[in-house]
């Protein structure tokens, strides 16, 4: 799902800064909403179930999500659900407001943006989503054989390409990995910027394909992408010339979050329907249409532990950027 990158990067970056500052001051508290002072109302009877996403391509989102919305609605009739709807907004700020105001019931995203948006709106993570057929993923940091770089320590004084500042696997995971290896990642404006001998310069390419092109073109010395992309999307003719320098820890591929104020009985019913969707032909078809989702399930380590680690990663990013 392609996002409106300019709005997404600008708004989400501001939210991350504010929320991480709040988490540092009071780790167990939830940031107060800034877009609405109204308490979301609980749905009772005769209401739709509304799935939401952030995109500048609404038509594509409707095609992907409507089958799942319809599937949920058909199995939640006893909870007063009359139909399934899909609502697309253009920015994280709008998503926060829509969750707060009860205009969207469910939102799905990777752990990084979902955590930030969930904290800001007081939405709750409920399930893990196996997007693209996988339950978790990690980052691969790689280079070319010609670079003569054989370890991440060798990246000092060199430039690495990340995806974008809102990416879990394309930014947060590799950034934190470098920090935890004792290195000093420093953002640069362009691949041509100077990198000090004690730094690892990083630049955002805005796309995994761009990162690979920059690496092969000599603009950067290394690149970072998720392990799924590295395995499936690297062109066959390029793969033999690439060298993996490191692989990071894994995080859930995506998570589902439910809006604040959602009726507890309805939320429990939604969880059960989503968890069982892969067991029915109709559910499997709806999941396949939704970006080849294999299933929804519980967090093996528990929701609190999964989100706790994400906040720890974000705090490391924030501290390094001060």
Backbone angles phi, psi at 128, to 5 degrees: -95, 135
The pLDDT tens digits for 220-278 are: 999 999 999 999 999 999 999 999 999 999 999 999 999 999 999 999 999 999 999 99
* Contact residues for 72 (Cβ-Cβ < 8 A; gap 6+): 49, 51, 81, 84, 270, 273, 274
Residue of 36 and 304 predicted with greater confidence: 304
* pLDDT for the residue 33: 36
The pLDDT tens digits for 186-235 are: 999 999 999 999 999 999 999 999 999 999 999 999 999 999 999 999 99
The mean pLDDT of 26-46, rounded to a whole number, is: 44
The mean pLDDT of 125-140, rounded to a whole number, is: 95
Average model confidence (pLDDT) across the chain: 88
302 token code pair: 């528990």
Q: Residue 178: which H helix or E strand, with range?
A: helix 173-180
Please give the CATH topology (third level) of the domain spanning 139-249: D-Maltodextrin-Binding Protein; domain 2 (3.40.190)
Residue 287 CA to residue 280 CA, distance in Å, equals: 10
Same fold, 5-134+253-321 and 139-249: yes
Q: Where are the beta strands (DSSP E) in the chain?
A: 47-54, 81-89, 106-109, 124-129, 136-137, 139-144, 159-162, 185-187, 200-204, 222-226, 242-247, 251-252, 254-258, 296-297
Query: What is the domain partition of the chain in residue ranges?
Result: 5-134+253-321, 139-249
The pLDDT tens digits for 140-149 are: 999 999 999 9
- Superfamily of the domain at 5-134+253-321: Periplasmic binding protein-like II (3.40.190.10)
């Amino acid at each position: 799902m392609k996002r409106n990158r300019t709005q997404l990067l600008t708004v989400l970056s501001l939210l991350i800064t504010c929320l991480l500052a709040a988490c540092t001051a009071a780790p167990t508290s939830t940031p107060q909403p800034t877009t609405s002072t109204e308490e979301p109302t609980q749905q009772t009877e005769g209401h739709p179930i509304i799935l939401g996403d952030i995109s500048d391509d609404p038509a594509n989102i409707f095609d992907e999500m409507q089958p799942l919305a319809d599937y949920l609605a058909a199995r939640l009739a006893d909870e007063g659900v009359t139909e399934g709807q899909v609502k697309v907004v253009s920015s994280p700020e709008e998503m926060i407001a829509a969750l707060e105001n009860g205009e969207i019931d469910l939102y799905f995203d990777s752990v990084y943006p979902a955590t930030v948006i969930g904290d800001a709106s007081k939405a709750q993570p409920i399930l893990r989503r196996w997007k693209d057929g996988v339950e978790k993923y990690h980052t691969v940091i790689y280079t070319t054989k010609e670079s003569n770089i054989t370890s991440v320590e060798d990246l000092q004084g060199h430039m690495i390409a990340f995806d974008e500042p809102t990416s879990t696997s394309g930014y947060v995971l590799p950034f934190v990995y470098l920090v935890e290896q004792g290195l000093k990642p420093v953002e640069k404006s362009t691949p041509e910027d100077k990198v000090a001998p004690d730094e690892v310069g990083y630049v955002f390419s805005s796309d995994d394909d761009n990162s690979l092109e920059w690496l092969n073109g000599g603009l950067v010395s290394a690149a970072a992408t998720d392990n799924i992309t590295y395995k499936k999307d690297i062109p066959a003719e390029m793969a033999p010339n690439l060298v993996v320098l490191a692989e990071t820890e894994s995080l859930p591929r995506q998570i589902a979050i439910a809006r604040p104020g959602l009726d507890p009985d309805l939320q429990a019913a939604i969880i059960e329907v989503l968890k069982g969707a892969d067991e029915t032909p109709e559910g499997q078809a709806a999941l396949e249409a939704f970006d080849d989702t294999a299933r929804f399930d519980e967090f093996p380590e528990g929701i609190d532990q999964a989100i706790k680690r994400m906040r720890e990663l974000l705090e490391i990013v924030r501290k390094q950027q001060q």
